[in-house]
Chains A and B, each alone.
Chain A
Amino acid sequence: MADQPLETPEFIERLRQGDRAAFGQLVKAQHNMLLATARTLLNPADAEEAVQDAWIAAHRAIAGFEGRSQLRTWLTRIVINQAKMMLRKRGREIQFDPADEQDPLAYRFKQNGAWQLSPQHWELSGPDNLLTREELRRCMEKHLHFMPDNQRLVLELRDLQGLPAEDVCNMLEISASNVRVLLHRARAHLFEMVDHFQETGEC
């Protein structure tokens, strides 16, 4: 049988009835995305374990899934809860209050709010497109790795997975303005990284 689209009432009903093929389809479609979410907070081995445990929790709870949120949001929330539990076991917590860090672009502005150091021009077309350079890819991965957990998580959910801002607020239990600030800082970090690469050719 061809795969049914996720998020349709028919598919959700099959899941709720305990249809094995439907659950398999869900796992196949969502596992790697959930793993990417878990990896923003945990090392690869712990992330794998958190997602495995999340599948067990989801499998137990699916019969009661009411469809008030998207399936994808519901699953992501379960994964984040598993990841938080795992962090707690390791004696860590994620801090969602963004107050402790400066805006990475703040130094570029004069007192009066105008640019002091405006961005470089990036070549964005043709074979020289800066953003398609392999070194830049690697540099981006490195920067993502060193970004604060809360920023990396929000960037992953909003910009890589395209979840709606409202869903992200709900699943992380933080305010819309905190999500906005965290996302802005994460993007600003990446912008700074690319701009520096453009200027110096180095990561």
Chain B
Amino acid sequence: MLKCRDVVDKADALVDGSPLTRRERFALRLHLLICHHCRRYVRQLRALLGFLPRQPDPLDEARTDAILKRLEDKAKD
């Protein structure tokens, strides 16, 4: 039987889709069925990761050009 501490360790794979064996997945499901503290942990961890800021904006034209210009100057050296 998994302990809550083990569930919290394996929850990472559960929330980010990393591979788990069928046996591990089954044991996790079973534990989550009976333990509302762990269910809450997994649900809230998933929500938290979903709220992390994602892809930043693309760089603006002027700064992109400045970088290209610098590359070309370097290439001439």
- Interface on A for B, CB 8 Å cutoff? 20, 23-24, 27-29, 31-33, 35-36, 52, 55-56, 59, 105, 109, 112-115, 118-119, 121-122, 124, 131-132, 158-162, 165, 180, 183-184, 187, 190-191, 194-195
In this complex, which of A56, A121, A165, A187 has the most chain B Cβ atoms within 10 angstroms of its Cβ?
A187
Please measure, in the bound complex, the distance between the C-alpha atom of A61 and the C-alpha atom of B9, giving whole angstroms: 40
Any A CB within 8 A of the CB of B76: no
Q: Is the interface of B mostly helix, strand, loop or mixed?
A: helix
Measured CB to CB, the closest approach of chain A to B51, in angstroms, equals 4
Q: Which of A20, A160, A183 meets B52, CB within 8 Å?
A: A160
Which residues of B have CB within 8 Å of A165? 18
Which residues of A have CB within 8 Å of B40? 118-119, 121
Which residues of B have CB within 8 Å of A124? 43-44, 47
Measured CB to CB, the closest approach of chain A to B63, in angstroms, equals 7
Contact (A32, B5) CB under 8 Å given A20-B68, A124-B44, A183-B12: no
Measured CB to CB, the closest approach of chain B to A61, in angstroms, equals 12
Whether A109 contacts B5 by the Cβ 8 Å rule is yes
Which residues of B have CB within 8 Å of A180? 12, 18
- We find that the number of chain B residues with CB closer than 8 angstroms to chain A is 38
Q: Which of B16, B37, B56, B74 meets A33, CB within 8 Å?
A: B56
Which residues of A have CB within 8 Å of B55? 33, 161
Whether A191 contacts B45 by the Cβ 8 Å rule is yes
Which residues of B have CB within 8 Å of A56? 70-71, 74
Whether B48 contacts A109 by the Cβ 8 Å rule is no
Q: Which of A27, A28, A119 meets B37, CB within 8 Å?
A: A119
Q: Which of B5, B51, B71 meets A113, CB within 8 Å?
A: B5
Binary flags per residue of B42-77, CB closer than 8 Å to A gives 1, else 0? 011101110111111111010111011011001100
Measured CB to CB, the closest approach of chain A to B54, in angstroms, equals 6
